[in-house]
Amino acid sequence: MSVLGPGDLGETKIHANRKMKGYLVLEDGLVFEGYAFGYPRAASGEVVFNTGMVGYPESLTDPSYRGQILVLSYPLIGNYGVPEPASANGVATAYESEQIQVQGLVVSQYSFAYSHWQAAKSLADWLIEEHVPALEGIDTRMLTKRLREKGTMLGKILISDENLEFYDPNTENLVSMVSVKYPVLYEGGKTKVVLVDCGSKNGIIRSLLARGVTVIRVPWDYNFLHENFDAVVISNGPGDPTMCPETVEHVRKAMEENYPIFGICLGHQILALAAGADTYKLKFGHRSQNQPCIEVGTQRCYMTSQNHGYAVASQTLPSGWEPWFVNANDGTNEGIRHRSRPFRGVQFHPEATPGPVDTGHLFDEFLTNI
């Protein structure tokens, strides 16, 4: 005997959804035909792929995906539904922000029937609620290979006879769209850390609070130097780090004051810019939960969670700085640190969510510098 969960849908609804065709159009002219299962509207953005096997609720709510159409290369998506929104200490426990951040979603096979003890709704229902379009029935293996060979490119999801211009999110300051608009205080302990919110994942806040730290979350362009704090964390976020000159300048001044600083993902790139190094756009980026990173000077390799399209040019690091981690796959920079001062940054996500927590100890190491 089989037991149907709350997400098991009848054949009528499945067939009704599969009759609505949709198309993913790439800027190089390639068109993929599939079926709509999200909100029935057109959307455009930068098409990127993620090779993770799980974690779509976290990925969809990650602000680093702002302006992007997300392709999930794992073939079956939606089988465990979507959890109920919940929070602790004012921070969402299941999501990485308060809304879905992607422009659209593309998958190979969508599971209309879901089953999980924490599931509150289907992925399709969630996408429809938040007006996010999605396509299934797409050959995501071929699409991913195309993006790897030719590089990340612009694209658009078209439903029915709609049309839409291509949209390049990298021409805009995406960080200003996802950052908080005013400072937010999370009480946690005697030590006070300023979190420069460039599109911060909730996992960073949860990681700091779990270590007994009070977090002062400030907007990306906020001059936090007049606040009472002990250290600085620069968060992840979307787009090109050179679009955040105000953040770079504030971090540079914090370095002059010798505050301990820890940059994560985009925050790592901003730290590098503040130090005087350069950044550049990767061909197709790193988006997965299985990126191997080697700690320089050791034989230790960590499995990491990543989501970024830009990287630090190691050869441009000024005197006093050194590479800390490198990607074992392509040799790109995955971390920097100052040889004598308390400044360090990593390209990957030590807070994970989703992904392995192998590098969670980096938060502890950072806090010992305070």
Supply the pLDDT for residue 234: 99
Last residue of some domain: 171, 191, 209? Answer: 171
Q: Does 3 fall in a domain?
A: no
Any domain includes 2: no
Whether residues 167 and 193 fall in one domain? no
In a domain, 1, yes or no: no
Q: Is residue 5 part of a domain?
A: no
Say whether pLDDT at 235 is over 50. Answer: yes
Instruction: Give the model's confidence band at 1: pLDDT under 50 very low, under 70 low, under 90 confident, else very high.
Output: very low
* Residue 162 pLDDT: 78
Our answer to whether residue 361 is catalytic in this structure is: no
Please, which contacts does 117-121 make with residues 24 or more away whose CB atoms are closer than 8 Å? 118/83, 118/84, 118/94, 119/5, 119/6, 119/7, 119/80, 119/81, 119/82, 119/83, 120/81, 120/82, 120/83, 120/84, 121/7, 121/81, 121/82
Q: Is residue 35 located within the same domain as residue 91?
A: yes
Say whether both 146 and 183 belong to one domain. no
Chain centre distance of CA 122 = 22
- Residue 7 has what pLDDT? 41
Do residue 115 and residue 162 come from a single domain? yes
Instruction: Phi first, then psi: give them for residue 155, nearest 5 degrees.
Output: -160, 175
Q: How many domains does the chain have?
A: 2
Beta-carbon contacts of 194 under 8 Å, excluding residues fewer than 6 positions away, are 216, 218, 224, 227, 229, 231, 232, 233
98 in any annotated domain: yes
162 part of a folded domain: yes
The CATH number of the domain holding residue 196 is 3.40.50.880
Active-site pick, 46, 58, 136, 351 = 351
- Residue 116 falls in the annotated catalytic set: no
pLDDT tens for 236-271 read: 999 999 999 999 999 999 999 999 999 999 999 999
150 and 282 fall within a common domain: no
- Mean pLDDT (the chain) is 94
> What integer is the mean pLDDT of 108-131?
97
Bond into 354 cis (ω within 30): yes
Which is nearest to 173 in space by CA: 270, 92, 268, 95? Answer: 270
Tell me how far apart the alpha carbons of residues 254 and 80 are, in angstroms, rounded to a whole number.
44
For residue 164, what are its two tokens?
């839409």
> Does 349 participate in catalysis according to the annotation?
yes
Asked if the structure places residue 250 within a domain, the reply is: yes
pLDDT in tens, 294-310: 999 999 999 999 999 99
DSSP state of 84: P
**Do both 62 and 80 map to the same domain?**
yes
Q: What is residue 19's predicted lDDT score, i.e. its pLDDT?
A: 74
Establish how many alpha carbons lie within 13 A of residue 32's alpha carbon, considering only the half-sphere containing its beta carbon.
27
Q: Convert the pLDDT of each residue in 268-282 to its tens digit.
A: 999 999 999 999 999
Residues 206 and 107 both lie in one domain? no
Residues 110 and 233 grouped into a single domain: no
Q: What residues are paired with 286 via a beta bridge?
A: 308
How do residues 25-53 score in pLDDT, each as one tens digit?
A: 999 999 999 999 999 999 999 999 999 99
Question: Based on the domain organization, do 121 and 193 belong to the same domain?
Answer: no
Q: Which of 154, 171, 188 is the last residue of a domain?
A: 171
The pairing of beta strand 109-110 with beta strand 119-121: unpaired
325 plus 220 within the same structural domain:
yes
Which residue of the set 198, 265, 308, 338 is catalytic? 265
Contacts of 221 (CB under 8 A, 6+ apart): 176, 179, 244, 246, 247, 250
Length reported for the chain: 370
Task: Give me the pLDDT at residue 160, please.
Answer: 78
- State the pLDDT at residue 193: 98
Selected residue with higher pLDDT from 14 and 365: 365
82 and 197 belong to one structural domain: no
Domain encompassing residue 255: 175-367
Which of residues 171, 200, 217 is at a domain's end?
171
**Cα separation, 291 vs 71, whole angstroms:** 17
- Residues 194-217, mean pLDDT to the nearest whole number: 98
Residue 30 near residue 156 (C-beta atoms within 8 A)? no
* pLDDT higher than threshold 50 for residue 10: no
- pLDDT for the residue 18: 60
Same domain assignment for residues 162 and 203 = no
Reported as a pLDDT band with limits 50, 70 and 90, residue 210 is very high
- What CATH code is carried by the domain that includes residue 97? 3.50.30.20
For residue 161, what pLDDT is reported?
77
For residues 243 and 279, the answer to whether their CB atoms sit within 8 Å is no
> What was the pLDDT predicted at 248?
98
Structural domain contains residue 6: no
Q: Which two tokens stand for residue 278?
A: 């350069």
- Please report which confidence band the pLDDT of residue 130 belongs to, taking 50, 70 and 90 as the band edges: very high
